[in-house]
């Protein structure tokens, strides 16, 4: 059905839940109706509206200013609306968020990222809108020419997946990675997808067996909790397979030695319960436990992006290695959604303001706000960390602990 036939009928009087949101939508629609349609043939307003829906309906964002900024994120670049007008109609905070997200005319990711800097730091709310913007563009990339598909896919892998990871947004990072892989290397995507499809650990029988066995352990010790499974992404598994093959630890034709093809996630009520479950699982599986792949990302030892869990690996002779991750419900909410879960709980975001650093080759690193040159060197490689004795920032030498 064509656009003229009403396939993309957009209601100017759509009710988004508040007068401020409705006013932002009406302004966006009025101005974007003067813009050319998207490559798919859709009216341009469908894009900011979909970005809004990703934030509100998929990610559960309730912050009104953030949602208004999502509706208006392209309006300054594409129409005659100014930041001053947004400020007068919707306030300083909305104007600041829109300014942070607005693309530069160069359309260069390097310059775009500079634009969102605030004294070298990135407001997590700006990052969320940028990620929702990129996610919708990647979901609708089919309408773009092949060359642009590949370029956008590379940009997404180089920049936006790293941004999502730095904010702890595992679900978003995985979708962006897999969409990028699909559009940048269709043959590689299909080959890897077939390898994953044939992996015995993803069979319903294996999943039911292990899930039931863990649930029986919880029930036997009267521990309240639930067991879920989380499949890893196609791109992530491809990179792990390549890394392990280079290290002589795995095969390029299967995933047997990769322990998180599927991760069994055990969510319990308290941290004490986490350690009790770990003890019971180790006793249950005995010699099948791979103690060399035990990780305790808890408390002060949580990962840089805030991920927390106890992870242990069980080696099944006829299936392969399987990760069992144990955490509280609150930990897992953050593990999946990162700063989104903090925004929804109205928590302080200061610890998740990011420092954006460009390498000499213009690739990007997202580091914690208080990161030093040591952290930057480690993000590149341990070898760089060992060999470096100073760091250059904008061409000027600085102490290594800058």
* 227 beta partners: 266
Give me the DSSP letters along 308-358.
-EEEEEEEETTTEEEEEEEEEHHHHHHHHHTHHHHHHTT---GGG-EEEEE
CB atoms within 10 A of CB 6: 8
Query: What's CA 357's distance to the chain center, in Å?
Result: 19
Query: What's CA 331's distance to the chain center, in Å?
Result: 16
Is 78 tagged catalytic? yes
Q: How far apart are CA 119 and CA 136, in angstroms?
A: 28
Q: How far apart are CA 367 and CA 349, in angstroms?
A: 15
Among residues 77, 295, 315, 375, the one annotated as catalytic is 77
The full length of the chain comes to 402
Q: How far apart are CA 149 and CA 138, in angstroms?
A: 9
- The residues, any chain, with a CB within 8 Å of residue 173's CB and separated by 6 or more, are 161, 164, 165
Please state the three-class secondary structure of 23-35 as a single string: HHHHHHHHHHCCC
* 118 beta partners: 121
Among residues 78, 155, 177, 260, the one annotated as catalytic is 78
Closest CA to 61 of 139, 127, 134, 159: 127
Specify whether the CB–CB gap between 49 and 71 falls below 8 A. Answer: yes
Give me the DSSP letters along 244-272.
HHHTTSS-TT--TT-TTSEEEEEEESSHH
Is 77 tagged catalytic? yes
Q: How far apart are CA 16 and CA 169, in angstroms?
A: 26
Q: What are the catalytic residues?
A: 77-78
């Amino acid at each position: 059905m064509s656009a003229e036939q009403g396939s993309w009928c957009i209601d100017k009087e759509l009710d988004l839940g508040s007068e401020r949101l409705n006013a932002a939508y009406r302004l966006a629609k009025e101005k974007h109706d003067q813009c050319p349609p998207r490559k798919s043939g859709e009216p341009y307003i469908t894009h900011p509206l979909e970005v809004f829906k990703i934030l509100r309906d998929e990610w559960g964002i309730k912050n009104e200013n953030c949602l208004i900024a999502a509706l208006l994120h392209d309006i300054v670049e594409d129409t005659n609306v100014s930041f001053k007008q947004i400020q007068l109609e919707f306030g300083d905070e909305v104007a600041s968020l829109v300014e942070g997200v607005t693309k530069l005319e160069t359309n260069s990711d390097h310059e775009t990222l500079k634009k969102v800097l605030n004294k070298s730091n990135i407001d997590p709310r700006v990052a969320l809108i940028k990620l929702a913007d990129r996610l919708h563009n990647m979901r609708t990339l089919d309408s773009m020419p092949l060359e642009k598909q590949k370029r956008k896919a590379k940009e997404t892998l180089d920049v936006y997946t790293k941004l999502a990871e730095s904010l702890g947004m595992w679900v978003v990072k995985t979708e962006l990675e897999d969409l990028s892989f699909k559009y940048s290397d269709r043959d590689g995507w299909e080959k890897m997808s077939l390898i994953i499809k044939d992996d015995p650990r993803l069979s319903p029988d294996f999943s039911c067996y292990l899930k039931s066995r863990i649930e029986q352990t919880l029930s036997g010790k009267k521990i309240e909790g639930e067991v879920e499974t989380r499949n890893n992404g196609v791109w992530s598994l491809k990179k792990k397979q390549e890394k392990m093959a280079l290290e002589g630890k795995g095969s390029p034709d299967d995933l047997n030695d990769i322990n998180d093809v599927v991760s069994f996630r055990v969510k319990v009520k308290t941290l004490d319960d986490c350690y009790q479950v770990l003890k019971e699982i180790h006793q249950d599986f005995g010699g099948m436990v791979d103690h060399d792949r035990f990780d305790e990302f808890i408390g002060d030892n949580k990962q840089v992006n805030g991920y927390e869990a106890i992870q242990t690996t069980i080696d099944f002779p006829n299936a392969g290695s399987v990760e069992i991750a144990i955490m509280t419900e609150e930990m897992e909410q953050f593990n999946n959604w990162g700063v989104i879960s903090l925004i929804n709980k109205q928590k302080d975001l200061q610890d998740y303001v990011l420092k954006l650093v460009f390498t000499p080759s213009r690739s990007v690193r997202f580091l914690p706000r208080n990161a030093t040159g040591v952290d930057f060197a480690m993000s590149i490689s341990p070898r760089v960390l060992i060999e470096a004795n100073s760091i250059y920032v904008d061409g000027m030498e600085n102490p290594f602990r800058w």
